[in-house]
Homo-oligomer: A and B are copies of this chain.
Amino acid sequence: MKFKSKILPLRTERVAVVLSQDDAAELGLLPGDRVKVSLDKRSFVAEVEIASEFVSQGEVGVCSFTAETCSIEEECVVEITPFARPKSVEYIRKKLDGGRYERVEIGQIIKDISDGILSDIEMSTFILANEIVGMQNDEIQWMVEAMVEVGEKAVFERGTVVDMHSVGGLPGNRFALIAVPTVAAAGLLIPKTASRAITTASGTADAMEVLANVNLSVDEIKEITEKVGGVIAWNAATGIAPADEKIIRVEYQLELSPTPHLMASVLSKKLGSGAKFVAIDIPVGSKAKIENVDVGRSFANSMMEIGRNLGLKVATALTDGSQPLGRAIGPALEAKEVLEVMERKVEGDMLEKSLGIAGILFEMTGIATNGYQHARKIFESGKTLEKFREIVAAQGGDENVKADDIAVGDKRYTLHAAKEGYVREIDIAVLNEITRTAGAPKDKGAGVYVHKKRGEVVKAGDPLITIYAEKEWKLDNAIEVANAERPIVVSGMVLEVYGRRGV
């Protein structure tokens, strides 16, 4: 049947068209069915929604995302015909039944995901099937290849291109803002792409955005990297491995991120950015994505093997994922903290981890035999801060940026210790929740400062955390969360006593 197009300004992440109830019934379509939409000499597949009013009989509503993706304008004549389920659904069903993907099969699935053809229900099945049945290393490798294939790619003609990435999930884990300029200062090229916060309160891209523009195209990334040696950009804006963003959207709702997807996500981004050597940070902790060292080791081995088959040299570092890195959580607080480290005002785990990760890349590329020491030398010479400011300037930020310039939320509340003892445990999930409730990542100044970390001694009345917010009502909500689910557990040295009365 032929229809006239009408653009509907609804945001949806899928390719979808809207028909009137009568037309849908005429074509025998139910909501969620797929149709082939043909116009001019091209055609694409879309999901059907049914509306009682927005579109009249003879009209087809096209959501704005679909209109852009598929270049449809107002009042085009389009032909709509029912379309059978895509082949990729069959492949997903095979995995669900315990099977294995062939190379072309996982390739087709990734293509259909990128094209927005799969429904939420089918995407969920894909994720659940991979979680339950698992994927072997070669299947993950093919998935990475397909993810890179359908996206943008950076190709460097010269220089040694390296990269670093974290599996993520740890609050305050902003080592890249120190490690990237350290690596670049040594003459390596590092086109670092990073995520914004999804489930956490702030991502590397959110923190970097406090200081500079992170929405860069692949061409801009290449240009800046070749000019100053490094860049820190938001990965989704680059168009590298676009299927990843779509998969993550559904995983966020499922609260589930299958290990094969975690691997494919990291490797596809690094491969797409043109890196040859990659250092991967794997935070390990009971509330982290990787729950213990055994799981971490097997994860690391798979990453290295898959990387090798993709032509990537991969090194992995299992790191402490049981408490925040540094003391600051939230975009502005984190940006401020890394600047304080680079300005030599504070030391500690943030600096150690940054130098450690940079050092791994120095050893991999043969620049130094003791990478950590090499990194420390660069850092102490002031070249890290200098290079960081160059990168910030190249991304449109202030070339003289200082920690003191960074504005953080002016609505504040400090939680104090009720009794003395030491910090036995920090709940990173609760810290994330407090920071998000305070307004992060949207309100850049919102966040949490952790005064006492694990093992530190606490006196009654000592500050434990300070919550920062830009809006009073968000601060109030965050305080409520903090009081309900105490993020920091203070204990005396003696936890429990048995037999005190000689029993």
Q: In the complex the two chains form, what is the Cα distance from A120 to B16 in whole Å?
A: 16
Q: In the complex the two chains form, what is the Cα distance from A25 to B51 in whole Å?
A: 27
Query: Which stretch in A122-130, A138-146, A405-413 binds the other chain?
Result: A122-130
Q: Could you mark each residue 422-441 of chain A with 1 if its beta carbon is under 8 Å from any beta carbon of chain B, else 0?
A: 00000000000000110100
Q: Could you mark each residue 323-343 of chain A with 1 if its beta carbon is under 8 Å from any beta carbon of chain B, else 0?
A: 000000000000000000000
Q: Which residues of A contact B (CB under 8 A)?
A: 8-13, 18, 21, 25-26, 28, 30-32, 49-54, 64, 85, 89, 93, 96, 119-125, 128, 132, 249-250, 252-255, 436-437, 439, 442
Closest to A9 in B: B53
Decide: A11 and B52 in contact? CB cutoff 8 A: yes
Q: In the complex the two chains form, what is the Cα distance from A121 to B13 in whole Å?
A: 14
Q: Taking A10-B54, A64-B52 as contacts, is the C-beta distance between A28 and B436 under 8 angstroms?
A: yes
Chain B residues whose CB sits within 8 angstroms of the CB of A89 once the complex forms = 255
- Which listed residue (B12, B25, B124) contacts A120, Cβ 8 A? B124
Decide: A11 and B49 in contact? CB cutoff 8 A: yes
Q: In the complex the two chains form, what is the Cα distance from A26 to B28 in whole Å?
A: 41
Q: Taking A30-B252, A120-B120 as contacts, is the C-beta distance between A51 and B10 under 8 angstroms?
A: yes
- Which listed residue (B9, B10, B53, B124) contacts A49, Cβ 8 A? B10
Decide: B253 and A121 in contact? CB cutoff 8 A: yes
Q: In the complex the two chains form, what is the Cα distance from A254 to B126 in whole Å?
A: 11
Chain B residues whose CB sits within 8 angstroms of the CB of A64 once the complex forms = 52-53
Q: In the complex the two chains form, what is the Cα distance from A82 to B123 in whole Å?
A: 25
Q: In the complex the two chains form, what is the Cα distance from A54 to B61 in whole Å?
A: 14
Chain B residues whose CB sits within 8 angstroms of the CB of A121 once the complex forms = 120-121, 123-124, 250, 253-254
Chain B residues whose CB sits within 8 angstroms of the CB of A436 once the complex forms = 28
Decide: B252 and A439 in contact? CB cutoff 8 A: no
Closest Cβ–Cβ distance, residue A34 to chain B (whole Å): 10
Closest Cβ–Cβ distance, residue A431 to chain B (whole Å): 15
Decide: B51 and A9 in contact? CB cutoff 8 A: yes
Chain B residues whose CB sits within 8 angstroms of the CB of A8 once the complex forms = 54
Chain B residues whose CB sits within 8 angstroms of the CB of A31 once the complex forms = 11-13, 249
Q: In the complex the two chains form, what is the Cα distance from A390 to B26 in whole Å?
A: 33
- Which listed residue (B10, B49, B128, B255) contacts A85, Cβ 8 A? B255
Decide: B122 and A253 in contact? CB cutoff 8 A: yes
Q: In the complex the two chains form, what is the Cα distance from A436 to B28 in whole Å?
A: 7
- Which listed residue (B9, B32, B96) contacts A128, Cβ 8 A? B96
Q: Taking A32-B252, A442-B26, A442-B28 as contacts, is the C-beta distance between A52 and B9 under 8 angstroms?
A: yes
Closest to A132 in B: B132
Greatest chain B CB density within 10 A among A10, A26, A122 is at A10
Closest Cβ–Cβ distance, residue A112 to chain B (whole Å): 14
Q: In the complex the two chains form, what is the Cα distance from A11 to B12 in whole Å?
A: 15
Q: In the complex the two chains form, what is the Cα distance from A436 to B120 in whole Å?
A: 25
Chain B residues whose CB sits within 8 angstroms of the CB of A249 once the complex forms = 30-32
Q: In the complex the two chains form, what is the Cα distance from A119 to B254 in whole Å?
A: 10
* Further contacts, 9 of them, CB under 8 A, given A10-B18, A11-B51: A9-B52, A11-B21, A30-B249, A32-B252, A53-B64, A119-B120, A121-B121, A121-B123, A122-B254
Closest Cβ–Cβ distance, residue A199 to chain B (whole Å): 10
Decide: A119 and B253 in contact? CB cutoff 8 A: yes
- Which listed residue (B54, B125, B254) contacts A254, Cβ 8 A? B125
- Which listed residue (B93, B252, B253) contacts A255, Cβ 8 A? B93
Q: In the complex the two chains form, what is the Cα distance from A253 to B119 in whole Å?
A: 9
Chain B residues whose CB sits within 8 angstroms of the CB of A439 once the complex forms = 28
Q: In the complex the two chains form, what is the Cα distance from A122 to B125 in whole Å?
A: 11
Q: Taking A120-B119, A124-B125, A252-B32 as contacts, is the C-beta distance between A11 and B50 under 8 angstroms?
A: yes
Closest Cβ–Cβ distance, residue A374 to chain B (whole Å): 41
Sample (9) of A-B pairs whose CB atoms are under 8 Å apart: A9-B51, A10-B52, A11-B50, A25-B442, A52-B64, A89-B255, A96-B132, A120-B120, A121-B253
Greatest chain B CB density within 10 A among A25, A124, A128, A436 is at A124
Q: In the complex the two chains form, what is the Cα distance from A133 to B304 in whole Å?
A: 33
Closest to A474 in B: B28
Q: In the complex the two chains form, what is the Cα distance from A21 to B11 in whole Å?
A: 9
Closest to A471 in B: B26
